[in-house]
Each structure stands twice: as structure tokens, then as C-alpha cells.
């Protein structure tokens, strides 16, 4: 079972400056909930009990969000507004939250390695909260991946097909098909130009990793952009054993970009906040979730 989840959240969020100058990108709201809360909720629905958040300078708001605010609670106690805190209170009660600081921004691989002390010698999930994944009326993306992990017992990356012109923004995989939507990875390239991309299957911000990844990361040299890339470590893991790539069910929004953030906000307002059925629900493929 996967009981631990790491949330690398130390990045500077430069694409969202000036909003992220003094506020963590992960605290930016999609309608009335910060991105990190969607990620934690997804992890809890996948059965995760221990949240490990990798933070950096200026990220105190993340810690405060998953803690009690006695003054505020006292102020709104007994009023209608109290209901607005119900969801986050439930998240606080259902999991433990620990934090570790990444002192230097040496990349996602380095952020995950920094979280080693929080997950120990256990398989664990990784959620990049700025990738918002929603699968309304169905299993969350992380839950889908945990179920696959329980069957295959190896590292799994979530992938999505992207236009050729966008491969340079992602780690891109190629692999052999195991079953519908599932591939055994044989190659991975970080942010390739379209002509160097091994396919159009891009890794998005959901991973399940087996703990041997830490030893590999410890020996991974800085790669593209001078950063320690999780893609390089995963390619090594794939060579040694098995890494799977999973084409998940659901919607994914790149909330690290302004366009993706606006798209996510519109979608969540309609289908989460107002509870309107999505197109596929209207066609009878899923049940809408009320706000």
C-alpha cells in the first residue's frame, strides 16, 4: 500500500510573478481552494496517510493552511461560514503533515531526494500540486495509479499525449504497450525538441516511486538546465528493472502556466463549485459531484 506522498513545493513559480513574489504558487486558489488542497484531497482519496511537503523560503502559508487557526475558528464558530472550513478540517484530521526545506533549487529530482527522510524505505506517491488533476465522478488519478502499483509493484509515471510543439515542456517517454493505457518505459528524454522526442507521451505531475529511486538520485548528475532531473533517475530505474507509464482517466490542467490556470478555474467553477455535469456526464459516462 502507498501510505506516503511527497509534494515538491519549493519552486519559485516564476511564471506567475508578481503573484508568487511572496505567496507560494501552491496556495493560488482554483475558485476558493488552494492548489495544494486539491492535491492533498486527491492523495487522501488514494488512501495516503502521511503528507510530506518539500518547502522553501517564503512558503510558510503552506504549513499554516494545514494547521488550526484558533482565532478564525473562534470568530466564525456557530455561523454559516463555518461550513466553508469543513473540507480542510477533514483533510487536517485524516492525515499527518510533515515539512522539510529544500535549501537550494537544484531541480525536481533534488526536491524528491530532499524528501527521503519523510518517506523512509517505503514506496511513495509524488504530487506536483500545480498540475491539477480532476476525474469527477470517478477515481482520482492517484487512486488509479495506486491500484496499478498494487498489481505491478514498480514505479509508475502518469502520462498525457501532447501536441508535438509542446514536448519541450515535459519529460517524454517511449515504451511497449502492456495493456490499454499502460506502457513499459524503455526511453525517457527531458524536455526534448519535437525532432528529438521519442513519442508525444509527456510525463505530468503524478508519480508512484519505489524507494530504490533515492539511491539512484544520490548518484544522478545534474542534467538538462543544470538540475537533478527525476527523468534521468527514472530512466536508470527503467534500465535496471521496470518503470510503467500510465495514460490516466480524467482532466489535467497545467496550473503553473497562466493559460492552464484560467482553464482550470473555469472548469472547476462550472463542474466542482456549481456542480454542473461535464459533457461526458451528460452523455451518461459519469455522475456529477455536487459542490
Closest to 51 (Cα-Cα) out of 99, 102, 117: 99
How many residues sit close enough to ligand UTP to count as binding (CB under 6 A)?
Answer: 20
Closest to 6 (Cα-Cα) out of 141, 115, 107: 115
Q: Closest distance between ligand UTP and the C-beta of residue 205, in Å? A: 7
Taking CB under 6 A as the binding criterion, the range among 59-67, 105-113, 132-140, 183-191 that sits at the site for ligand UTP is: 105-113
Residue 110 to residue 8: CA distance in whole angstroms? 10
Q: Is position 13 an interface residue for ligand UTP (rule: CB under 6 A)?
A: yes
Taking CB under 6 A as the binding criterion, the range among 7-15, 42-50, 85-93, 240-248 that sits at the site for ligand UTP is: 7-15
Taking CB under 6 A as the binding criterion, the range among 9-17, 36-44, 73-81, 283-291 that sits at the site for ligand UTP is: 9-17
Q: Closest distance between ligand UTP and the C-beta of residue 16, in Å? A: 6
Q: Closest distance between ligand UTP and the C-beta of residue 191, in Å? A: 10
Taking CB under 6 A as the binding criterion, the range among 6-14, 81-89, 187-195, 275-283 that sits at the site for ligand UTP is: 6-14
Per the CB < 8 A criterion, the answer to whether 39 and 62 are in contact is no
Q: Closest distance between ligand UTP and the C-beta of residue 261, in Å? A: 11
Q: Is position 52 an interface residue for ligand UTP (rule: CB under 6 A)?
A: no
Taking CB under 6 A as the binding criterion, the range among 64-72, 98-106, 192-200, 210-218 that sits at the site for ligand UTP is: 98-106
Closest to 154 (Cα-Cα) out of 218, 234, 244, 214: 244
Q: Which of residues 130-149 bind ligand UTP (CB under 6 A)?
A: 130
Q: Is position 107 an interface residue for ligand UTP (rule: CB under 6 A)?
A: yes
Residue 181 to residue 6: CA distance in whole angstroms? 25
Read off the DSSP letter of residue 78.
Answer: T
Q: Which of residues 212-271 bind ligand UTP (CB under 6 A)?
A: 256
Burial class (CB in 10 A: 0-12, 13-18, 19+), 283: exposed
Residue 49 to residue 185: CA distance in whole angstroms? 29
Closest to 4 (Cα-Cα) out of 109, 131, 120: 120
Q: Which is nearer to ligand UTP, 52 or 136 (CB)?
A: 52
**b vs e for 162-201, b when ≥16 Cβ sit within 10 Å of the residue's Cβ?**
beeeebeebbbbbbeeeeeebbbbeebbbbbeeeebbbbb
Q: Closest distance between ligand UTP and the C-beta of residue 255, in Å? A: 10
Q: Is position 34 an interface residue for ligand UTP (rule: CB under 6 A)?
A: no
Q: How far is CA 255 from CA 19, 99, 128, 263, 265, in A?
A: 13, 23, 10, 8, 9
Q: Is position 175 an interface residue for ligand UTP (rule: CB under 6 A)?
A: no
Q: Which is nearer to ligand UTP, 55 or 200 (CB)?
A: 55
Q: Closest distance between ligand UTP and the C-beta of residue 8, in Å? A: 3
Joined together, the cell numbers standing for residue 126 give 509524488
Q: Is position 128 an interface residue for ligand UTP (rule: CB under 6 A)?
A: yes
Q: Which of residues 53-82 bind ligand UTP (CB under 6 A)?
A: 54
Joined together, the cell numbers standing for residue 45 give 482519496
Q: Closest distance between ligand UTP and the C-beta of residue 162, in Å? A: 15
| Strands 96-101, 50-55: pairing kind | parallel
State the residues that interact with ligand UTP by CB under 6 A: 8-15, 25, 54, 102, 105-108, 110-111, 128, 130, 256
Amino acid at each position: 500500500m502507498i501510505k506516503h506522498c511527497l509534494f515538491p513545493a519549493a519552486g519559485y513559480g516564476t511564471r506567475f510573478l508578481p503573484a508568487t513574489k511572496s505567496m507560494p504558487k501552491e496556495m493560488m486558489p482554483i475558485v476558493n481552494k488552494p492548489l495544494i488542497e486539491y492535491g492533498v484531497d486527491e492523495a487522501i482519496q488514494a488512501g495516503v496517510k502521511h503528507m510530506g511537503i518539500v518547502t522553501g523560503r517564503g512558503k510558510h502559508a503552506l504549513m499554516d493552511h494545514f494547521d488550526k487557526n484558533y482565532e478564525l475558528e473562534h470568530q466564525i464558530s456557530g455561523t454559516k461560514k463555518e461550513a466553508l472550513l469543513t473540507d480542510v478540517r477533514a483533510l487536517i484530521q485524516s492525515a499527518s503533515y510533515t515539512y522539510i526545506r529544500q535549501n537550494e533549487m537544484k531541480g525536481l529530482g533534488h526536491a524528491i531526494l530532499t524528501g527521503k527522510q519523510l518517506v523512509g524505505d517505503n514506496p511513495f506517491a509524488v504530487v506536483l500540486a500545480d498540475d491539477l488533476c480532476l476525474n469527477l465522478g470517478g477515481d482520482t488519478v492517484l487512486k488509479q495509479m495506486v491500484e496499478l502499483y498494487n498489481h505491478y509493484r514498480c514505479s509508475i509515471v502518469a502520462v498525457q499525449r501532447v501536441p508535438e510543439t509542446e514536448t519541450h515542456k515535459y519529460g517524454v517517454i517511449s515504451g511497449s504497450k502492456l495493456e490499454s493505457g499502460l506502457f513499459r518505459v524503455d526511453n525517457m528524454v527531458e524536455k526534448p525538441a519535437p525532432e528529438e522526442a521519442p513519442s508525444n507521451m509527456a510525463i505530468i505531475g503524478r508519480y508512484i516511486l519505489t524507494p530504490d529511486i533515492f539511491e539512484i538520485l544520490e548518484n544522478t548528475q545534474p542534467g538538462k538546465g543544470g538540475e537533478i532531473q527525476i527523468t534521468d533517475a527514472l530512466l536508470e530505474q527503467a534500465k535496471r528493472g521496470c518503470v510503467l507509464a500510465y495514460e490516466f482517466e480524467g482532466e489535467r490542467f497545467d496550473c503553473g502556466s497562466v493559460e492552464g490556470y484560467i482553464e482550470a478555474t473555469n472548469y472547476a467553477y462550472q463542474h466542482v463549485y456549481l456542480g454542473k455535469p461535464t459533457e461526458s456526464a451528460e452523455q451518461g459516462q459519469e455522475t456529477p459531484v455536487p459542490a
